């Protein structure tokens, strides 16, 4: 077992870090305050190839592994949780299912523009009555001639109004399963601008405030028959498999948020003086920092392990990575929440103000315990594997 990163990965980290420091960090406070999507940053990321890191070169991507992608999200999240989730949702939740389940025509049609960042991707599964219980959805798709007609709505959609290509899930019928009638769910690719596809409310969120979280509304939205993604009725499996991958992205985001808060706290406790000494000289501070750093390191190992396991899956299409992804997300998200909370505490009153970024990081961290499967769902996934 070798924990050393390759020279390529080290250089990639240098690139991501330099980009994050120079292009993302200076805007992070503004993005949070104004709740505006950082489009210029996304354009710069597109130019640098960040929007298609694990997509093969034949589809216009960078052809890198999942580990490199996770490191990119991690480094972005160290300075801005919003920017990190834009990349994560785009890559894991839109590019990845099209790459995995798309027909060759669909891949050729959508992936080059997505991987180059010319277009942005999003994913629509959640509905008002269907969060963790994905089977509870109401959005329907009915085949009329050569077109599917979508009706319904999706909520809490990351990259909502800014995306161009959406992977959307809808009920395409009822099927009998173990003697019971259940909903048959299928996946579709929907393009922005399709008549009948509009946007509803923009969510006012606690954190990741620049990430454009919108409701998507489908009213007699006609899409070509060929835009079904994967086979009819396989939508639930596609959604679950996509979320397994997405969790690695969110775990990397959580990891970065925690590490970013730790970095700022290490700097702060060496500057801040109380009772004539830097607060870093007090044993309480030192022990807090030791715990924070240890947990961040553990989370990093878990995230990288999950990413490497998914890489193995990419090669053999056999290796399972859902448990690794669930564990990494569970641990990294809870680490991020704990570390950012401690970071605010160590910053004292200043940490509670918006001037000091740990305040934003604590708000950003919370969502990582909720989206793409709550921590409770991750525990269900992990325990189901233990007791099968």
Partner 1 sequence: MKVVVCVKQVPDTKGGVKFNPDGTLDRAAMLTIMNPDDKAGLEAALRLKDQYGAEVTVVTMGLPKAEEVLREAIAMGADKGILVTDRVLGGADTWATSQTLAGAIRNLDYDLIITGRQAIDGDTAQVGPQISEHLGIPVISYAQKITVEGDSVVVERQYDDRYHVLKAKMPCLITALAELNEPRYMTPGGIFDAYKAEITTWGRAELKDVEDSNLGLKGSPTQIARASDKVRKGKGEKVTLDPTESVAYIMDKLKEKHVI
Which residues are CB-neighbours of 296 under 8 A, at least 6 positions away?
255, 258, 259, 262, 335, 339
What whole-number distance in Å separates Cα of residue 196 and Cα of residue 203?
21
Residue 3 class from Cβ within 10 Å (0-12 exposed, 13-18 middle, 19+ buried)? exposed
Interface with partner 1, residue 72, by CB under 8 A: yes
Dihedral sign, Cα of residue 103, residue 104, residue 107, residue 110 = negative
Judged by CB under 8 A, the chain residues 16 through 45 that form the site for partner 1 are 18-19
Only one of the segments 13-21, 255-263, 283-291, 342-350 lies at the binding site for partner 1 (rule: CB under 8 A); that segment is 13-21
Task: Quote the least distance from Cβ 68 to partner 1, whole Å.
Answer: 6
Interface with partner 1, residue 63, by CB under 8 A: yes
Interface with partner 1, residue 118, by CB under 8 A: no
Number of other residues whose CB lies within 10 A of the CB of residue 33: 12
Interface with partner 1, residue 256, by CB under 8 A: no
Closer residue to partner 1, CB minimum distance, 12 or 239: 12
Interface with partner 1, residue 64, by CB under 8 A: yes
Task: Quote the least distance from Cβ 1 to partner 1, whole Å.
Answer: 22
Strand partners, 230: none
Query: Taking Cα atoms as reference points, which of 244, 223, 90 lies closest to residue 157?
Result: 90
Closer residue to partner 1, CB minimum distance, 8 or 291: 8
Among 41, 62, 186, 242, binds partner 1 (CB under 8 A): 62
Does 21 participate in catalysis according to the annotation?
no
Q: Residues touching partner 1: how many (CB under 8 A)?
A: 20
Interface with partner 1, residue 240, by CB under 8 A: no
What whole-number distance in Å separates Cα of residue 7 and Cα of residue 10?
5
Interface with partner 1, residue 15, by CB under 8 A: yes
- Determine contact, residues 305/328, Cβ cutoff 8 Å: yes
Binding residues vs partner 1 (CB under 8 A): 6-8, 11-12, 15, 18-19, 47-50, 53, 57, 61-64, 68, 72
Q: Which residues are identified as catalytic?
A: 372
């Amino acid at each position: 077992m070798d924990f050393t990163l390759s020279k390529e990965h080290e250089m990639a980290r240098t690139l991501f870090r330099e980009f994050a420091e120079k292009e993302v960090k200076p805007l992070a406070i503004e993005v949070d305050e104004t709740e505006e999507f950082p489009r210029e940053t996304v354009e710069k990321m597109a130019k640098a190839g960040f929007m298609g890191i694990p997509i093969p070169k034949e589809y216009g991507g960078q052809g890198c592994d999942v580990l490199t992608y996770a490191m990119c999200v991690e480094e972005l999240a160290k300075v801005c949780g919003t920017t990190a989730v834009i990349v994560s949702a785009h890559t894991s939740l839109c590019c990845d299912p099209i790459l995995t389940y798309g027909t060759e025509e669909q891949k050729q049609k959508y992936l080059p523009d997505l991987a180059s960042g010319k277009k942005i991707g999003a994913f629509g599964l959640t509905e008002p009555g269907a969060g963790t219980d994905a089977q509870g959805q109401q959005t329907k798709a009915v085949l009329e001639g050569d077109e599917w007609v979508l009706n319904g709505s999706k909520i809490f959609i990351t990259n909502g109004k800014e995306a161009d290509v959406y992977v959307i899930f809808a009920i395409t019928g009822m099927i009998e399963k173990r003697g019971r009638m259940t909903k048959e769910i299928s996946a579709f690719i929907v393009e922005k601008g399709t008549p009948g596809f509009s946007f509803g409310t923009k969510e006012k969120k606690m954190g990741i405030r620049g990430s454009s979280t919108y409701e998507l509304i489908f009213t007699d939205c006609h899409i070509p028959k060929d835009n079904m993604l994967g086979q009819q009725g396989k939508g639930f499996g596609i959604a679950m498999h996509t979320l397994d991958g997405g969790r690695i992205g969110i775990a990397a985001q959580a990891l970065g948020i925690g590490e970013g808060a730790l970095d700022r706290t290490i700097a702060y406790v060496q500057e801040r003086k109380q009772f004539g000494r830097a607060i870093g000289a007090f044993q309480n501070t030192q022990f807090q920092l030791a715990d924070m750093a240890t947990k961040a390191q553990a989370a990093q190992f878990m995230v990288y392990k999950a990413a490497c396991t998914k890489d193995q899956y990419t090669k053999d299409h056999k290796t399972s990575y859902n448990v690794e992804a669930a564990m990494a997300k569970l641990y990294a998200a809870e680490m991020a929440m704990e570390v950012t909370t401690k970071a605010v505490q160590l910053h004292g009153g200043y940490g509670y103000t918006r001037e000091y970024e740990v305040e934003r990081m604590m708000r950003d961290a919370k969502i990582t315990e909720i989206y793409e499967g709550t921590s409770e769902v991750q525990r269900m996934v992990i325990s189901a594997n233990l007791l099968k």
